[in-house]
Amino acid sequence: MKRARMVVDPDFAIGAIDDRLYGSFVEHLGRAIYGGIYEPGHPQADEMGFRRDVLELVRRLGVTIVRYPGGNFVSGYHWEDGIGPRASRPRRLELAWRSIEPNEVGVDEFAAWARKAGTRVMMAVNLGTRGIDAARHLVEYCNHPGGSHWSDLRRSHGHPEPHGIKVWCLGNEMDGPWQIGHKTAEEYGRLAAETAKAMKMVDPSLELVACGSSHSRMPTFPDWEATVLEHTYDYVDYISLHTYYGNQEDDTANFLAKSMDMDAFIDTVVATCDHVKAKRRSKKTIYLSFDEWNVWYHSHEADRQVAPWQVAPPLLEDVYTFEDALLVGLMLITLMRHADRVKIACLAQLVNVIAPIMTRTGGPAWAQTIYYPFLHASRYGRGVSLRPVIDSPRYDTRDFTDVPVVDGAAVFDPDKGTLTLFVVNRDLHERVRLECSARAFEGYRVLEHLVLEHRDLKATNTEHHPDHVVPHSGGDATVDAGVISATLPAPSWHVIRLGRVAS
């Protein structure tokens, strides 16, 4: 059996974990809205048409903030189409995903859904085909109490209280040639800065996210970030990052190493932000919003077969495997280990579209494999992220060298008196014996050792077998004289929870 060692200590703190690290994303795309969160006439639909079974799965997942309404969709969206009486709302050609948008769900309905789901809205504005006026008017509609045109219009629609949306994205992936209204960094930076200024005139309490690169392989990365921040540094609080990974080559060892690319992406963006900070001699720190991240590749071929101009066609409906859940766990570990700078992150997306939750229109809802690492991180990954020192066997792949077989994060909650280890064994063939020195946590005992494992890397959860890949609490973790010991099956995801022994 291979062996790995880890050291954790409360003095080695990375930073407090912002609860918005456990966010998600709902776009007007495919069946995310229609047939996903919203399905009037469904046996589980509530009085507003929202599916109660989906709401329950979202609440259980502990999603803290949800980015809306896009995504590529937002770059052609007129938010005014989705307010007021439904009978008068237009049906539009939605160019980003070549669908028909019926506008049955808009900002008011989504804000209501978010309240039901126990989460907050992270609103995106259209800086593709629109700009300053549309953005400032939307802020007024959402957040101003009353006595003005747009706030009184909201009140007339039956929403007397402001929605109070505080986090806003200044467009989406504006560096991408696929984006409606694609811009150069100079064009976008100027527009984003002026839009930010106007939005904060309406509501100075807003937190704003500037568009960073769509992924780290963009030819303009990281010059895009540097140029955009030159224009927006004084007006925004975050810059965004997006990334998706796939296993098209069916090389699992290489696939599970791709979280290392995410780690390098974050480090480069942090360095670029701090370069601009130094260049401007600023005391302000720009934080990161990793507001799109996930595994995405299974549905590419199926999407090519979907006929255009349908309402809610089945797009991006990846069916996730056990190995996908392992990489999602590794990506969560990466986010936790960057808690000092990554303050917001959104698993993209939430329902049906590259999502942890799947539904059948008219039928049931169920949790995909990737649901469980996110559930564990959201539930137990609150507190202070500690910097773990890990000594692990390593391996090389086609794209990566010195990949640690064991990777992990540690979270200390001083208020609850808990220490939680999140650990993945990447080895596809051998168990690993982990020994973690945590001597500063004297008097702690193991509360629970959760394990997600399966003999089949390609195992999935389906409508008819929704519990095929689920975690169990049968891990063998023990603690003795401040050393936590556990066996990590090959391969597997682990959550080892410790707490103080009651006196």
Domains and CATH numbers, the chain: 2-9+386-500 (2.60.40.1180), 18-380 (3.20.20.80)
Task: Determine the pLDDT at residue 503.
Answer: 55
Task: Determine the pLDDT at residue 84.
Answer: 97
Task: Determine the pLDDT at residue 275.
Answer: 98
**Are the C-beta atoms of residues 87 and 77 closer than 8 Å to each other?**
no
Tell me the C-alpha distance between 317 and 391, whole Å: 38
DSSP 451-478: EE--S-TT-B--SS-TTSS--BS----E
Q: In 3D, which of 104, 113, 110 has the Cα closest to residue 81? A: 104
pLDDT averaged per 10 residues in sequence order, the chain, 503 residues: 97 98 98 98 97 98 98 98 97 98 98 98 98 98 98 98 98 98 98 98 98 97 98 98 98 98 98 98 98 97 97 98 98 98 98 98 97 98 98 98 98 96 98 97 96 98 98 97 97 97 67
Give exposure, 353-389, as e/b (b: 16+ Cβ within 10 Å). Answer: bbbbbbbeeeeebbbbbbbbbbbbbbebbbbbbbbbe
Tell me the C-alpha distance between 309 and 36, whole Å: 19
- For the stretch 316-336, pLDDT in tens is 999 999 999 999 999 999 999
Sign of CA dihedral 382, 32, 248, 452: positive
Tell me the C-alpha distance between 212 and 217, whole Å: 12
Tell me the C-alpha distance between 180 and 465, whole Å: 40
Tell me the C-alpha distance between 151 and 141, whole Å: 5
**Are the C-beta atoms of residues 386 and 10 closer than 8 Å to each other?**
yes
Q: Annotated catalytic sites, by residue?
A: 173, 292
- Cis status, amide bond into 349, omega within 30 of 0: yes
Task: Determine the pLDDT at residue 501.
Answer: 77
- For the stretch 91-137, pLDDT in tens is 999 999 999 999 999 999 999 999 999 999 999 999 999 999 999 99
Tell me the C-alpha distance between 346 and 12, whole Å: 26
